[in-house]
Amino acid sequence: MDGEDRRLDPLKSFTVNSFRLDPGIWQDLVSEEESQVMLNSFFNTQDYWTLFICQHPESGLSFSLHFPKNVQTKVICVSKSGPGVLTKENTRESLIIQEVQGEDALSFIITVSEKVTCPLLSNPETSSTWAAGVAEEALRFMGRQKNEALVMKAHIEGQTFLPHPGALHDDALHDDTQRLSDMKLLHSCDSMIIEWAELVSEFLQQHSSQPVLDGLKPLPSEEFNFWRNRLNNLHFIQQQLMSSRAQQVASIVQKAESVYWSTLRDIHRDVQEGLKEAEDVTLNLTGLQEQLEQVEQVEYQQLGANMAAVMEAVRQVWIQSKFYCEPCRMVVLLQEICNLFIQMSREFLRVEEVMHGLVSDPAPVLDDVRLVIRTLQTFKEAYSQCRTQLESQNQNQCLTQSWDFPSHLAFSHLDKFLTRLHSIQEVLCDSLQLRQLDQTVLSGVSSRMWTDVVQGVYQDFLCHVTDLSQSNCDPTDPDDQSFQLHLDQFQVQVSDLDRRLVSVLSRAFEDCCLSSSAAKLVQMFRLILDRPLIQDQLHPHLIRLVEMVLVELDQTELLFVSQREKSETFSRFSPSAAARLCWTQQLQLRAEEALNSYRTIQHLCVDSGESQLVLQRFQNVVDLLQDFRDHVRLDWSRQLDSDCGFILEQPLIQHSQQGMLEVNCSHKLKGVLRELRCVSREGDVELHPHTARLLTCRDDVTHSYLSLSHMVSCYNQVVMDVLQVELPLIQDQQHDLNQTLSMLQTNTWSCEGVQHLVEQQRERVLMFHSTVCKARANMNDMIGIIQGWAELHLLQHSGESLLEGGASEQSYRQIREEGQQLLLLTQVNRSLYGVEESSESWIRYLDHIDDRLQHGLFQLLLRSLRFLSDSMNPQTCRGPLVAVRLQLQETGSVFEPSVGGDLLKTIITDIYRAASLPARISMSRYDNLQESLQQSPDLIALEQEVMRHVVQVKEEAEHLRAGLDRYSYLWLSDRKEMMQEFLTYSRQLGADKLEAQEAPPTLKDFQREIESLHRLSREVTHLDDVIVLHSWLQVDLRPFRDSLLLIIHDWSHMYTEYLLDSVSDSLQQVSRRADDDDVDDGDDDDDDDKAPSSSLPLTETILLLEAAGVQLPEHLSAQLQC
């Protein structure tokens, strides 16, 4: 259907006028593919009775076969007055077009269905001329549409409506026997129960967290309204389930023992559980709701004092409610409370006052911002206290669950708001600090110039602040990124002002020759110097450098005192004691670097006591570090000796709880070996007896530990990777190996000959590991071979036709050889596992491989048949699959090979024959794999699909052959008989043979027949060489064409041969007559008249033969020359 279809004219006229559209918009709409599908479904089928046209603000004009949701504008409803396909003649009479508002459209659909459509369809007189079942189907469709409208209308009103079956009538309320026998009514009840279950399930799956997930910022009132509405709707659903109609449905399905009786009971159960949940949550949220309502009424200055009460109410909800004590619900509730406090904070700050305070007086606004920050921080602190209380109650074995969810999930939006408030606070602080420049006056040689520069900085700052305050942004909205852009620009501008101030202050510090002058300058700019950029730029100056040296020494000492007892401070890749020693060395280097930095500027110091203070601070740090190092070395020596003694008494290996082997105390042993390596490098650590003993054999222990680790890894790899079917094959070897490994579980590192024992057992484990890995590799090779069959190209073309190639003999040979290889690999694995052929474990192992073999062959056959099916499908084939020739035989035209049911039968047989090539692996299964696979439903379905394509192409091929049978008279007619008729009647006789009169042919008759044959020859010559039928069968017409041209040539030759004979007879008569004249010149004129002559003119006959492309024989040409 396109835009020019006349059936669309009523819709186009009504829609364009109703929505006041440009006709081009309508044309674009009906040109879309999706719109054409909907219009075809409505106009050309009986499945849809209603078409809706609506206009969305975002997507524009659109069609819909179902009522569009969330439409507030008007909707055009197009309905059919009866069943059937709409044509150009009946379109205007059969369509009902009505314009309704979006919110009234559902009521319109319900009213039309109840008052018009359903009575019309249920009237026998109206449907008497319709086909059987059309009225009933249409009535059921309209009933479903009405129910959908009722459900949607209730959904818009916030309720869940449960529709009733259309086949349920009041007169059947008391006839239980008849109702149970009415299968149509039972089916209707079952369908309605399914719809009830979907509606109830959809409602119960609604969560109050959906607005949060949608990116909205809901308030707690929405949470309270959600649960209150949920409770009301559940009561409404329960009332519907307890109604007489619903009880009647329940009685019908129960007495009929329908499978949906349990579904109906589940609906009742879910509704009851939902009621319990909603009642519990609504009851427990009441206290929090009252508390929040009170909080909303207090002044903002008292809000912080109520935060603990709000969080206590939240905690009570968590403790008392059985259904609300879920982390996800608590996170949503906390987010909503945060949204409420953010809203109250924004109302308290007022955007206009914040922006105005930047210019006029930032101090009051700064106080308000700090109040808001403290209030919100109080709320987070109250949350932390409640969380701590819950954790303590949980530790005291109370039943209360703690808040173990991450806090950032609940406070993400609040944190963004606090971040924005901190940015505003920073701007206000900048404004307060830079406002001190208003009365600044510098002294000195260039004081007037530098004072003017400072005043220029101040004026520029006022301009920047004014621009920021005049921006049309909401600074209290954390989602308003435009303010952040202005803020970033302001920060860049302020940074530029800071750099200008640094240049002035640097020159001022350079002009200071006394400490008192520098102190006065610092006092004058005490707030300006607190700015980070200015602090960084003034770093090279005297006071800043001295202070930095002292601070660095203080920080070094503070870092040492605060971090010396924390193990995470030190390197995780070195022993703790060695790392502590290294850390103290780094701290000492840090202190020495600070002292060296001070000595570089020591000549600039005015007060010599400053130098003594720096040296004293440095010596204190060095003494602390040295005492700590001595203490660490002493503790390290004792602890290391204890650890070495413990390691020497431990068994070499042990079994873990999971049944795996592991090196005993592996981590501790590695740590001791690492510490011994560090001790050998440190040199000044005292060695106790156990430490000295283990240090002497550290290399041997390390080598043995690595061997044990490798052995344990190999053993565990075998145990972890073993297949269930392989486990019985190796359990004897594993049992023997475990008995020998028990020696390693009893020997310790202090025993003699440990290294030799470890190497001996390691060789046995590695041999066992190698055997299992080889068997596993063989299994993987077998799986790879079987899986490779699924990618094997079983069929191949030879020339232009699959029939000439068929199944590849190379593929057969590969499958056969790989099948033998599978048998060989199984025998290799049997020798590796060392089992008997008759053992049950080996039989199960072979059955496992045989299952994989059968699956691989199934995939091979499935791929080959699917290749045939896809190659014969016109939508997926890539070129001709099979080639045949059209031959002309005595009986007529025939295809070689024949196009029929046996066309691809041989190929399909060859495909299935591949399943018989490999021998079965299993010793307990004797059935034929080919016969078993031929019973597969998937393969049968594909084979039937192939044969269906063959039947289709056969019909098309017969149609082609029938079209070429128009030339059949050329090979079916008797040329001699036809020539005799022509010579007798000068034409070929048809039905008027009995009425024809004898009339010998003239030369024009011969010319007519010859030219007709020449035209027929040209027509046949232009026949196509090859024709592809059904996109996959290639028909070669050249043999048929060549044979037909030979037949046409024989016909033409028959006429030209007769003309040549005529010419030959005429020349012979002329020659005899000349001879007679020479013998008897005295013959009279009567003798001349009796001389024989041909009936056809000689000269014209010769010219006709030359025009037909026939050359005279040499003897006739010679006679003509004479």
For residues 617-628, give the mean pLDDT.
84
| pLDDT exceeds cutoff 80 at 240 | yes
Q: With cut-offs at 50, 70 and 90, classify the pLDDT of residue 309.
A: very high
DSSP letter assigned to residue 514:
S
Q: What percent of the chain has pLDDT over 70?
A: 74
| pLDDT exceeds cutoff 80 at 536 | no
Q: What are phi and psi of 1012, to 5 degrees?
A: -60, -40
| pLDDT exceeds cutoff 80 at 34 | yes
Looking at residue 54, its pLDDT comes to 83
Which has the minimum average pLDDT: 40-54, 987-1001, 1082-1096?
Answer: 1082-1096
Contact 860, 794 (CB under 8 A): yes
Which has the minimum average pLDDT: 474-488, 513-527, 567-581, 670-684?
Answer: 513-527
Contact 376, 343 (CB under 8 A): no
Closest CA to 285 of 277, 297, 273, 296: 277
Give the CA angle between residues 599, 603, 609 to the nearest 5°. 80
| pLDDT exceeds cutoff 80 at 100 | no
Question: Distance between CA atoms of 271 and 170, rounded to whole angstroms?
Answer: 27
Question: Distance between CA atoms of 913 and 933, rounded to whole angstroms?
Answer: 11
| pLDDT exceeds cutoff 70 at 526 | no
Number of neighbours of residue 327 by Cβ within 10 angstroms: 16
Looking at residue 92, its pLDDT comes to 76
Which has the minimum average pLDDT: 389-398, 432-441, 542-551, 865-874?
Answer: 542-551
Question: Distance between CA atoms of 145 and 77, rounded to whole angstroms?
Answer: 13
Q: What is the mean pLDDT of the chain?
A: 78
Looking at residue 294, its pLDDT comes to 93
How deeply is 640 buried, as exposed, middle or buried, from its count of CB atoms within 10 A (0-12, 13-18, 19+)?
Answer: buried
3-state helix, strand, coil in the chain (%, to 5): 70, 5, 25
| pLDDT exceeds cutoff 70 at 1083 | no
Looking at residue 1085, its pLDDT comes to 43
For residues 495-521, give the mean pLDDT.
66
Contact 440, 527 (CB under 8 A): no
Looking at residue 443, its pLDDT comes to 61
Number of neighbours of residue 965 by Cβ within 10 angstroms: 11
Looking at residue 415, its pLDDT comes to 93
Which has the minimum average pLDDT: 423-427, 508-512, 809-813, 1061-1065?
Answer: 508-512
For residues 1059-1067, give the mean pLDDT.
83
| pLDDT exceeds cutoff 80 at 900 | no
pTM: 0.43
Which has the minimum average pLDDT: 520-529, 535-544, 601-610?
Answer: 601-610
**Each residue's pLDDT tens digit, 781-820:** 999 988 888 888 777 665 556 655 556 778 888 888 888 8
How deeply is 79 buried, as exposed, middle or buried, from its count of CB atoms within 10 A (0-12, 13-18, 19+)?
Answer: buried
Given CA atoms 111, 114, 118, 123 in this order, what sign does their dihedral have? Answer: negative
* Residues ≥6 apart with Cβ < 8 Å to 100: 74, 75, 77, 108
E strand residue ranges, 788-924: 882-889, 892-896
Looking at residue 172, its pLDDT comes to 42
In order, the DSSP letters of 977-1036 are HHHHHHHHHSS---TTTTT-------HHHHHHHHHHHHHHHHHHHTS-SEEEETTTEEEE
Q: What percent of the chain has pLDDT over 90?
A: 12
Looking at residue 1087, its pLDDT comes to 40
Pair of tokens at residue 890: 């005595």
Question: Distance between CA atoms of 882 and 905, rounded to whole angstroms?
Answer: 13
Q: With cut-offs at 50, 70 and 90, classify the pLDDT of residue 142.
A: low
328-337, 455-464, 617-626 — most confident range: 328-337
Closest CA to 1051 of 994, 999, 1108, 1001: 1108
Among all chains, which residue has been given the structure tokens 């005429």? 1066
Question: Distance between CA atoms of 28 and 61, rounded to whole angstroms?
Answer: 10
**Each residue's pLDDT tens digit, 659-679:** 677 776 666 666 666 666 666
